[in-house]
């Protein structure tokens, strides 16, 4: 991994910390509902038993009493029978979802999270064999640090019996050719898109970069047969992403996909001139796709990509060598112009992106080359904290961890950091 990518990932932890840590600024009276009676989640298309089917899901909900934004994340989903309390799992989907949604002036966030889900043939078959007419797809979400489980109910349909198929003639299928004969017009009639996954070049669903850092996205397409794919890369800039996004055309895609099952489309170099939030999407024109719009988001920072060193943040507790318990209190000296503090815990001693202390001996590294194991994000007026139960659950007993506190300003830049110190959990 290059230093540039290390810095990019470290930067993403700072500007999008809740996506990296799965937590957000605590709000005492937040109310969360997801796929409730007021905002139901319904899957319109049934699944044919014994056939692999791709569905378009929308997780709908609402978060109230939000200060600035809601961070929504889910690492895994799974299929089961009956309600989500069923012990029998029919398979897991190791595909993370993550969204950051800005709050309205009245502190409300309306959630609408899209997911393209492929239901394997054996999952629907096993459900039908047990006498079920529906299948449940369950996800556990973290919304601003609060856990909530939500379920989508998928209807099962039995394939209708049909006539015996006639033997296929021994001829070449033109849609199976990787190239067209000279003079033949390209046609999209045979192409069938099964799944599209949108990611940045480093594989991340979100990115945070500086103004002078190049950035591209990729669309990984799974398809059947062959034909012409037409799509449009579109972008919404910080001028509109604070409210209703307005997208403009960034680039056209017109590419013939030959015989095969996977292809990768690369976006043009993405604009990074203006600091703020950008929304990038790929809109499929043909062939039609159930989820015809796919979105990515990235944040542009006003600071340079050069790894920085910052003033030392002074901590007064816990004492060196003290064990980590549920009542252990972390305490530090406040730093001016701080929007939030971030408590980070690492499984092993983290490596700083900038280790040059000869010219700046009284400073600490702003960024590390790896993400923390767990941590907490706290308001800027906080001077001490105990680890939350969710953070404690991620730590194994009888192990040494390494912690530090960082101060973050309103622009998402680290302005002070404490030295990394070891601490050991109790047996």
Count of alpha carbons within 13 angstroms of residue 309, beta-carbon side? 14
Q: Bridge partners of 213?
A: none
pLDDT digits (tens, 9 = 90+) for 46-80: 888 888 888 888 888 888 877 778 888 898 888 88
Distance CA 315, CA 405 (A): 8
**Six-digit token pair at 144?**
């601003």
Tell me, what DSSP letter sits at residue 335?
Answer: -
Mean pLDDT across 218-231? 88
Q: What is the pLDDT of residues 37-51, one digit of tens each?
A: 667 787 878 888 888
Nearest to 407 by CA among 369, 377, 375, 386: 377
Q: What mean pLDDT, rounded, does the chain reach?
A: 78
Q: Which pLDDT band, with edges at 50, 70 and 90, does 383 fall under? A: very high
Instruction: pLDDT band for 323, please (50, 70, 90 cuts).
Output: very high
Place of tokens 């062939």: 287
Q: What percent of the chain has pLDDT over 90?
A: 21
Domains of the chain, first to last = 3-157 (2.60.40.10), 186-301 (2.60.40.10), 309-425 (2.60.40.10)
* Both tokens assigned to 323: 């064990």
Which of 102, 283, 122, 133 minimizes the C-alpha distance to 198?
283
| Closest-CA residue to 306 (of 7, 81, 95, 2) | 7
Task: Quickly state the pLDDT bin for 292 (edges 50, 70, 90).
Answer: very low
Could you tell me what percent of the chain has a pLDDT over 70?
79
State the pLDDT confidence band at 36, using cuts at 50, 70 and 90: confident
The C-alpha atoms of residue 206 and residue 71 are separated, in whole angstroms, by 12
User: In the prediction, which pLDDT does 389 show?
Assistant: 85
Can you give the pLDDT at residue 276? 87
What pLDDT score does 71 carry? 84
Query: Cβ(294)–Cβ(198) under 8 Å?
Result: yes
Model confidence at 285, pLDDT cuts 50, 70, 90, reads confident
Residue 370 and residue 372: Cα distance in Å, rounded?
7
| Burial status of residue 99 (CB atoms within 10 A of its CB: 0-12, 13-18, 19 or more) | buried
What's the pLDDT tens digit per position in 178-223? 333 333 344 444 788 888 888 898 887 778 888 778 899 999 888 8
- Residue 330 confidence (pLDDT): 96
> Using an 8 Å Cβ cutoff, are 216 and 269 in contact?
yes
Rg of the chain over all Cα atoms, to the nearest angstrom: 25
Rounded to the nearest angstrom, the gap between the alpha carbon of residue 124 and the centroid of all alpha carbons in its chain is 27
What does the pLDDT read at residue 304? Answer: 52
pLDDT at position 333: 96
**pLDDT, position 9:** 43
**Run of H or E residues at 142:** strand 134-143
In sequence order, the 6+-apart residues with CB closer than 8 A to the CB of 423 are 318, 322, 323, 324, 328, 400, 401, 402, 403
The dihedral formed by the CA atoms of 128, 130, 132 and 138, expressed in degrees to the nearest 10: -90
Q: Which of 34-38, 121-125, 174-178, 190-194 has the lowest mean pLDDT?
A: 174-178
End-to-end CA gap in the chain: 36
pLDDT at 13: 44
Q: Name the more confident of 179 and 333.
A: 333
């Amino acid at each position: 991994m290059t230093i540039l990518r290390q810095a990019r990932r470290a930067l993403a932890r700072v500007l999008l910390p809740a996506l990296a840590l799965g937590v957000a600024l605590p709000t005492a009276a937040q109310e969360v509902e997801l796929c409730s009676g007021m905002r139901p989640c319904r899957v319109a298309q049934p699944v044919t038993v014994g056939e692999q089917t791709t569905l378009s899901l929308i997780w709908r909900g609402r978060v109230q009493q939000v200060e600035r934004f809601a961070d929504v994340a889910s690492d895994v989903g799974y299929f089961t029978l009956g309600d989500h309390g069923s012990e029998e799992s029919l398979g897991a989907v190791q595909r993370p979802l993550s969204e950051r949604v800005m709050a309205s002036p009245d502190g409300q966030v309306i959630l609408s999270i899209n997911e393209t889900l492929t239901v394997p043939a054996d999952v629907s078959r096993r459900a039908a064999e047990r006498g079920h007419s529906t299948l449940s797809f369950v996800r556990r979400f973290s919304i601003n640090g609060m856990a909530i489980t939500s379920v989508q109910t998928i209807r099962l349909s039995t394939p209708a019996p049909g006539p015996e198929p006639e033997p296929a003639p021994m001829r070449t299928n033109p849609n199976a050719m990787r190239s067209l004969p000279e003079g033949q017009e390209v046609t999209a009639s045979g192409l069938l898109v099964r799944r599209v996954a949108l990611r940045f070049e480093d594989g991340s669903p979100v990115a945070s970069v500086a103004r002078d850092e190049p950035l591209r996205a990729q669309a990984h397409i799974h398809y059947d047969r062959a034909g012409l794919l037409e799509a449009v890369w579109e972008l919404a800039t910080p001028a509109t992403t604070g409210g209703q996004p307005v997208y403009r055309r960034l680039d056209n895609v017109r590419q013939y996909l030959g015989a095969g099952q996977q292809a990768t489309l690369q976006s043009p170099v993405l604009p990074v001139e203006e600091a703020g939030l950008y929304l990038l999407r790929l809109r499929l024109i043909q062939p039609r796709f159930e989820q015809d719009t796919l979105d990515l988001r990235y944040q542009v920072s006003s600071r340079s990509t050069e790894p920085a060193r910052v003033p030392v943040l002074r901590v007064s507790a816990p004492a060196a060598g003290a064990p980590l318990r549920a009542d252990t209190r972390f305490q530090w000296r406040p730093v001016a112009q701080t929007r939030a503090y971030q408590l980070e815990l690492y499984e092993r001693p983290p490596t700083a992106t900038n280790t040059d202390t000869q010219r700046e001996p009284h400073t600490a590294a702003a960024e590390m080359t790896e993400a923390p194991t767990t941590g907490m994000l706290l308001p800027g007026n906080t001077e001490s904290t105990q680890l939350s139960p969710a953070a404690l659950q991620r730590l194994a007993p009888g192990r040494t961890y390494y912690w530090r506190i960082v101060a973050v300003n309103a622009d998402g830049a680290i302005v002070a950091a404490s030295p990394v110190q070891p601490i050991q959990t109790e047996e």
